Structure 1
Amino acid sequence: MSRSSLANARRASAWLAASATIALVTAPSAAAQDAPASETSSGVEDIVVTARKQAESLQDVPMSISAVSGEALESAGYTELNDIARLSGNVFFEAADRSKPQIYIRGVGTRSYDAGSDPSVGVFVDGVYLGRFGALDMDLLDVERVEVLRGPQGSLYGRNTIGGAISVVTRDPATSFSGRANGELGMSDIDGDWLYSLGASASGPIAGDGVRGSISATRRYRKGYQNDSVADVRGGSEDAWSTSGKLLFELGDATLRLAADYSHLDGPPLILVPNQLGGAANNPGALAPGFVTPAEPANPYRPATDAADQAIIKETYGGSAQLNVPFGDVELTSITAYRRLNLDERDDLDGTTLPFQVYLADESGKQFSQELRLSYDSDSFKLLAGAFYSNENVDRTETITFGPASLLTVLAGPTPLVWDFGVGLKSKSYALFGQAVWNPTDRLSLTVGARYSWDEKDVLFDTRTTVPVGISNYRQAAARKWNSFDPSVSLSYDLADDVMAYASYTSGYKSGAFQFIATSAAVAQQVAEPEEVDSYELGLRSTLFDRRLRLNIAAFSMDYTNLQQLRLVDVGGGVTRVLIGNAGDSRIRGFEAEGRAVFDDSWSLDFSYGYLDAKFKTYVFNTLLDFSGNRMQRAPKHTLSLGLNFATDTGIGELTSRIGYSYRSKIFFEADNNIVDRESSEDGLGLWDASINLKNGPWTFGLWGRNLTDERYRRQVLNSTGNAQRGIWAEPRTFGLRVAVDFGGK
């Protein structure tokens, strides 16, 4: 029996035992649940979510979940999906650029961005899974709300996610005609950096009440906050536009939603700033005679590189059809989707004015998915059963060009010398999933779920080089298949009308990963094993003090096997190799508390706190490097978010404001925790944001500010062990003015 089969058998036994144990304690009770407390104008509002594929109150969901409305994100000045990390505990969402997002929930994520790996945190838009890394960090366009689910998700979603899920729900077309036009103008503390955006949307009936439609478009531009005068490029620059549309058909009792979107993004380019580690590593690699590394930039926001035309151009588009057909108490849901991603990238890899290395990437990906669900709903029993299929084809080539400053040009010649790492992926995923919810009493609820996944990946490596050292020309095919059974069980009990406690067990799985820069056919055959996790959680969801306080808390423990890790390894001669491998065992424990306090009709406070103890239990990288006991990357021990809100009616309109503070403690970018790669960490970071809006009739005028104390910090670092480090720096203090006008009804 294979290792995965043994793991599946072990999980099946644990699941059956847990289900049997819980069944013994679910004897019917005579206690009846009273009617829920009514809403008050000054109390906390009820939040409706669809995380469990049904509309229900956030407080009734027995899992750790956060939700924020699109309107709240917009009024706070947040326009990108990565901004959600400023509002959610134990969530890390940073990006080296808009094609390499790094999303971690409870310390689980991936720094990979290649064709052969899968995201650990899934991003879904209206139920459609976005498989490519380059498509995950998106603009928030016509969004109803964003839901963040922590921990493995498999029994409810078509595509399994081992670390968590971010579900973006867009607005449905309105029942009466409405529209909005908006504009924005801003600037940062960096000379010459300014931005603007324009947007418009319209929604309403098209053919009576049976056909409704909506369309939105936005244009965004930013000059850029890193002024590279030598290469005539600015980091942080952006020139983008996006559009989306939706049609909703009422077909008797059935409903059909057709959605399509397109976006084109030029920038921001990936500007790398060298860190010479106090002079200990002053070269980007082995230099040719006669070349000397320039001094490290005194100001990382004024770098100097030599490669012209540095840019990232990304095009994403797709469409989906969602059909809901009720048959009495049973409803059929079908979601069919097609996605495309085209990406071109050019970076100065050494980050200096030396003609040393230029990096290019070219990616083309397409994805088809089909999800079918059947759901049954009665007073005491709910059942959901589903099937999922996806087919993904990706072609990606990483190219490194060596210039005359590289020692390789002297040793090998001629110039230019080129490495081409081509990877072609064909991936198929199948799954059966479902869950049942039984309410033996008005207060007690038992949920049992399961998922069986099959994954197939076929990869063709096509590596070509004009450099006769380090790597060789080869073509190598590789294929793997994996499967996993992943159960879940939870028990919840209403301790009072507005207080619910729950306990849950969930297992998760992520398919194996291939190398994306393989220097030889032997390296290409080194496939990272699938990840596996067993997650345990205890939680309490409560609305207290006459609905003046919503307080949700959760404690969790996760045991991870084969966490996939990417690391750059120095192989000598100034050459670095990228390897994807597995950490043996990891342990993650933590705590979360979040909610909202309403003080009076004007003042309220949103809060979120996360504590995380995430460590590698066993991670022997090689005979010389043992990372066991180290803290996991991008897993801050503390995260905190506070938002003080104020609202009042004035003589000239309704005034609303928010002051927000988000904090994360120290993070490590590498598993060695600074032992091998020095300064691969970022100290604790606190960011202040603020916004104020005045609404007068159809007009809204706003002012927002991000990073008000002008913290200068690195979003990411790139290590080439033994050589100078390169960093990617974040947005400085930025302000903006906004104006919007609404027309028609709501």
Structure 2
Amino acid sequence: MKNTIGKLSLICLTLPAAANLHAASRESTALEEVVVTAERRSQSIQDIPASISAFDENAIRDGGIVDVSAVAPKVPGFYAGGFGTSRPQLYIRGIGTRQFDPGSESSIGVFVDDAYLGRTGGVLGTLKDVQRIEVLKGPQGTLYGRNVIGGVINVVTKGPTDEFEAEVEAGIGNYNSKNLFGAVSGPLDEEGKIKGRAALWHSYREGYMTNLNSGEHPQGLDNTGGRLRLDFTPTDRLRIGLIGEFAEDSGDSFQGESIGSTTNPDGTLLGTGSPTKSGNKFKQFYNTDTDYNREINAFNAKIEYDFDAGTLVSISTFRDMTYVDDRDFDNTDLDVMRQISDEDSEQLTQEIRFVSNPDSSLSFDGKVDWIVGFYYFQDESVHTDTFLYGEDAVIYDPSIDQVDVTGGDFDTTSTAYFGQATINLSENLDMTLGLRYTKDQKESVMFGTTTDASPLVSADFNVVNPESEFTSTDPKIVFNYRLGEDASVFASYSQGFKSGGYQYTPLTASQASIVFDPEELEAYEVGFKSQWLGRSLTFNGSVYQFDYTDIQVSRVVELADGSTPSLIDNAGESRIRGLELDLLYRPLASLTLSFAYAYTDAKYLSYVASEGVDYSDTRMVRAPEHSFNIGAEYYTPIGNGMDLILRADYAYNDEFFHEPGEADAKYGSTAPFTKEDAYGLASLRATVTNDEWRFSLWANNVLDEEYRSTILALPGQVINIYGLPRTFGASVSWTY
């Protein structure tokens, strides 16, 4: 087993952008080494027997990765959509969720500097001053814990440097986009025991949707943020790292195109009359303009102390998030309903882990690498949705202000104990054993009020749900066999767990008291990693099967009493099988080519929904059967100390479904609109750079492909939320 960073020159599992493809001088066809901390210690990515993709700072910048969702097109099998930054939908290998309220949690864990982002509404934000992004596929319960049943997005920000550095970047683009960024870093004392780094940024892009009634532009971006890092090294054994950051988002909320249903193209939920149609997907008539504001503040303290036997690590975090989202619910020029979502959450985490020193006696002369730890998580959140009715609502009464309110006050406490050891059974064979025990304790008070006893909340209610407890013991076992210096095969078995929870926007006391069960997953995977031709070619692959039970599926449904709540069902049993292949080749020192492919067969084996509809033997949502990306990068000196870098990428998703039922009309009049046709996204970038300056021209979605990032399927109405059209621009940066 290899405990330290290997000497391999390698690349990430899934795509070319993960490598440092353009060093200042490239004289060899050997691919650069990629080092990750996915296993909570620094390792070469080829040494880790798991499916991992990684993106270094060059790949993040040159790949146009501005937030977590921008990673998805570059990783086959990874889907990211949603209703703006507060309502993301992340799926890896068919596993994910579209729920975002505090009563439920994501199936994909997002971590920033070892801190778990517990609130789904806060996982998407502008990624600036980032050193690396890692994507881990499959359940990661042993080292990462709860609610990572589908995978992990691990973000590592840039730390302070040993010498003074400064960086400034400015960019412009279509949709009136503007980007500014600046950072300084270096020692703060003569001995270099105190170092700091400060970064500030502002990103703006006008929305690509247009309200033809007002001229406003929803679906935009307006983000300001900053991060301050301080590193202290009082002694050779003690290291202290402090991080404080803030982010503010404002502007218009998400809006889309209402297309009704097959039986009534003008249909709007709880509305009367016919809306005005524009004939242009990106230009619509809305009754009101939207408004969105989000604030996030986070603090992180990491303390490390080196003992002879290993390193004791303490990570303490606090995170506060508030947002208000005010929008035209029906997405038409009819005055039917406004929805105002308001959330306030505070999160505290504490992790203590001990990572072995391979040279200590407790590691048996380097034969065992091990890690043990304890984890504590607490989240207190309040979420409220207010529905305001207008004159085109079916229950309009001009004599009163008609308002329905529903929401909840949530308290979650989670504790966990974990350990993992990698044992060198022979010169070429390693075995990894892991185990984590998790206990979640949740409480909620669900409430609703109404002014007219219809149409959503029929009567005031206040339901105090008794404490719910969810526990899980998740094992992991991996065998890794090295066939030679540049090739290995592995086989793994692991279990994943996602906590149970409470309903979103309950409309009655009985719905408010429904507690859905945890998800459980058993994962089997066999794979290989290899390098060839003097390490100029990397070829990796894997096959896997997930046995998935009690999947939490969220849908807006119409019940027998006429109410239309958003309910989460536990969807019986499912099976997911897949194949993934990743190829990176540098035939010339100046040229790098890549291809990555994912086949996903995801099916509900047994799923009868709350309203009695049977979705058994249909494909799972947001799981395209085929997806791939291809890329090419050409690098050449052009004289006067300057280099030219040209790159092109294309990502393809096969058809998939936003809702259960495979778009079969037998599941309702909106079902045929829930299928997403296959689409591909192309991007181009040209960069001229030297030791200090960098100038880039770029274009994303070059072919101006029209696709939906998600849909809102309501009874009798579908609302399409479209992905970003073609964007292009230029940027210039200076580094000292």
Shorter-chain TM-score tier = over 0.9
Q: What does residue 544 of structure 1 align with? A: 532
Q: What does residue 724 of structure 2 align with? A: 731
Equivalent residue for 2:286, pick from 305, 320, 326: 305
* CA gap 1:595/1:328 in 2 versus in 1, 3 angstroms: farther
Give the partner amino acid of 1:52: E
Query: How far does residue 573 in structure 1 lie from its aligned partner after superposition?
Result: 8.9
With a CA cutoff of 8 Å and minimum separation of 6, indicate the structure with the bigger relative contact order: 1
Q: 2: CA distance between counterparts of 1:116 and 1:105? A: 22
SS in structure 1 at match of 2:569 = strand
Equivalent residue for 2:406, pick from 421, 442, 445: 421
Q: What does residue 463 of structure 2 align with? A: 476
Query: How far does residue 730 in structure 1 lie from its aligned partner after superposition?
Result: 1.4
Q: 2: CA distance between counterparts of 1:445 and 1:334? A: 28
Q: 2: CA distance between counterparts of 1:623 and 1:128? A: 39
1:150 aligns with 2:130: no
Give the partner amino acid of 1:283: G
1:229 aligns with 2:223: no
1:183 aligns with 2:170: yes
Question: Do the aligned partners of 2:261 and 2:267 also contact (CA within 8 Å) in 1?
Answer: no
1:535 aligns with 2:528: no
Query: How far does residue 285 in structure 1 lie from its aligned partner after superposition?
Result: 2.9
Question: Do the aligned partners of 1:205 and 1:211 also contact (CA within 8 Å) in 2?
Answer: yes
Question: Do the aligned partners of 2:635 and 2:643 also contact (CA within 8 Å) in 1?
Answer: yes
* Residues 166-219 of structure 1, C-alpha deviations (whole Å, 9 max, x = no match): 0001111111000110100000xxxxx220111100111011311111011111
Question: Do the aligned partners of 1:36 and 1:498 also contact (CA within 8 Å) in 2?
Answer: no
Q: What does residue 222 of structure 2 align with? A: 239
Q: 1: CA distance between counterparts of 2:147 and 2:205? A: 36
Query: How far does residue 238 in structure 1 lie from its aligned partner after superposition?
Result: 2.2
1:446 aligns with 2:431: yes
Give the partner amino acid of 2:141: G
Q: What does residue 597 of structure 2 align with? A: 609
Question: Do the aligned partners of 1:272 and 1:350 also contact (CA within 8 Å) in 2?
Answer: no
1:210 aligns with 2:203: no
Equivalent residue for 1:592, pick from 574, 580, 590: 580
SS in structure 2 at match of 1:117 = coil
* Residues 653-712 of structure 1, C-alpha deviations (whole Å, 9 max, x = no match): 111121000001111010122232221111001010011110134111000100000011
Q: 2: CA distance between counterparts of 1:319 and 1:202? A: 19
* CA gap 1:69/1:96 in 2 versus in 1, 3 angstroms: same
Give the partner amino acid of 2:619: R
Out of 157-166 and 214-223, give the one that drifted further. Answer: 157-166
Q: What does residue 639 of structure 1 align with? A: 627
Q: 2: CA distance between counterparts of 1:381 and 1:442? A: 13
Question: Do the aligned partners of 2:146 and 2:497 also contact (CA within 8 Å) in 1?
Answer: no
Q: 2: CA distance between counterparts of 1:293 and 1:575? A: 22
Give the partner amino acid of 1:666: E
1:372 aligns with 2:352: yes
Query: How far does residue 81 in structure 1 lie from its aligned partner after superposition?
Result: 1.7
SS in structure 2 at match of 1:611 = strand
* Residues 53-100 of structure 1, C-alpha deviations (whole Å, 9 max, x = no match): 111100000111110112212123222221111211210111221111
* Residues 410-463 of structure 1, C-alpha deviations (whole Å, 9 max, x = no match): 5xx644311111210000000001101101222110000000000011000121
Q: 2: CA distance between counterparts of 1:202 and 1:430? A: 38
Q: What does residue 220 of structure 1 align with? A: 203
Question: Do the aligned partners of 2:107 and 2:147 also contact (CA within 8 Å) in 1?
Answer: no
1:71 aligns with 2:58: yes
Q: What does residue 294 of structure 1 align with? A: 275
* CA gap 1:332/1:88 in 2 versus in 1, 3 angstroms: same
RMSD: 1.7
Q: What does residue 125 of structure 2 align with? A: 138
Equivalent residue for 2:444, pick from 452, 459, 482: 459
Runs (5+) with no aligned partner, structure 2: 11-26, 359-365
Question: Do the aligned partners of 2:9 and 2:31 also contact (CA within 8 Å) in 1?
Answer: no
Question: Do the aligned partners of 1:436 and 1:447 also contact (CA within 8 Å) in 2?
Answer: yes
Equivalent residue for 1:119, pick from 106, 111, 129: 106
Question: Do the aligned partners of 2:85 and 2:121 also contact (CA within 8 Å) in 1?
Answer: yes
SS in structure 1 at match of 2:71 = helix
* Residues 517-553 of structure 1, C-alpha deviations (whole Å, 9 max, x = no match): 1111111111111000000000101111210111111
1:669 aligns with 2:640: no
Query: How far does residue 623 in structure 1 lie from its aligned partner after superposition?
Result: 6.7
Query: How far does residue 251 in structure 1 lie from its aligned partner after superposition?
Result: 2.3
Q: 1: CA distance between counterparts of 2:503 and 2:127? A: 32
Query: How far does residue 38 in structure 1 lie from its aligned partner after superposition?
Result: 7.3
Give the partner amino acid of 2:250: D
* CA gap 1:294/1:279 in 2 versus in 1, 3 angstroms: farther
SS in structure 2 at match of 1:360 = strand
Q: What does residue 199 of structure 1 align with? A: 181
Q: 1: CA distance between counterparts of 2:198 and 2:171? A: 20
Tell me the number of residue pairs that the alignment of Structure 1 and Structure 2 aligns: 698
* CA gap 1:36/1:75 in 2 versus in 1, 3 angstroms: closer
TM-score between both structures, scaled by the size of structure 1: 0.91
Give the partner amino acid of 2:724: E
Query: How far does residue 221 in structure 1 lie from its aligned partner after superposition?
Result: 1.3
TM-score between both structures, scaled by the size of structure 2: 0.92
Quote the sequence identity (%): 31
Out of 510-519 and 568-577, give the one that drifted further. Answer: 568-577
1:629 aligns with 2:642: no
Query: How far does residue 248 in structure 1 lie from its aligned partner after superposition?
Result: 0.8
1:655 aligns with 2:644: yes
Query: How far does residue 281 in structure 1 lie from its aligned partner after superposition?
Result: 3.8
Give the partner amino acid of 1:688: A
1:249-288 alignment runs, 5 A limit: 249-252=232-235, 253-277=237-261, 280-287=264-271
SS in structure 1 at match of 2:721 = strand
Equivalent residue for 2:422, pick from 431, 437, 441: 437
Q: 2: CA distance between counterparts of 1:362 and 1:286? A: 22
* Residues 23-53 of structure 1, C-alpha deviations (whole Å, 9 max, x = no match): xxxxx9xxxxxx9667983211110000001
Q: What does residue 20 of structure 1 align with? A: none
Q: 1: CA distance between counterparts of 2:194 and 2:145? A: 28
Question: Do the aligned partners of 1:110 and 1:119 also contact (CA within 8 Å) in 2?
Answer: yes
Query: How far does residue 607 in structure 1 lie from its aligned partner after superposition?
Result: 2.5
Equivalent residue for 1:709, pick from 703, 716, 721: 703
Query: How far does residue 158 in structure 1 lie from its aligned partner after superposition?
Result: 5.1
Query: How far does residue 473 in structure 1 lie from its aligned partner after superposition?
Result: 0.2
Q: 2: CA distance between counterparts of 1:709 and 1:287? A: 37
SS in structure 1 at match of 2:619 = coil
SS in structure 1 at match of 2:59 = helix
Question: Do the aligned partners of 1:342 and 1:364 also contact (CA within 8 Å) in 2?
Answer: yes
SS in structure 2 at match of 1:234 = coil
Give the partner amino acid of 1:616: Y
Q: 2: CA distance between counterparts of 1:692 and 1:609? A: 25
* CA gap 1:474/1:622 in 2 versus in 1, 3 angstroms: closer
Question: Do the aligned partners of 1:77 and 1:705 also contact (CA within 8 Å) in 2?
Answer: no
Give the partner amino acid of 2:181: G
Give the partner amino acid of 1:206: L
Question: Do the aligned partners of 2:559 and 2:611 also contact (CA within 8 Å) in 1?
Answer: no
Give the partner amino acid of 2:65: Y
1:49 aligns with 2:36: yes
Out of 61-70 and 468-477, give the one that drifted further. Answer: 468-477
Give the partner amino acid of 2:660: A
Question: Do the aligned partners of 2:404 and 2:448 also contact (CA within 8 Å) in 1?
Answer: yes
* CA gap 1:264/1:714 in 2 versus in 1, 3 angstroms: same
* CA gap 1:37/1:143 in 2 versus in 1, 3 angstroms: closer
Give the partner amino acid of 1:727: N
* CA gap 1:584/1:278 in 2 versus in 1, 3 angstroms: closer
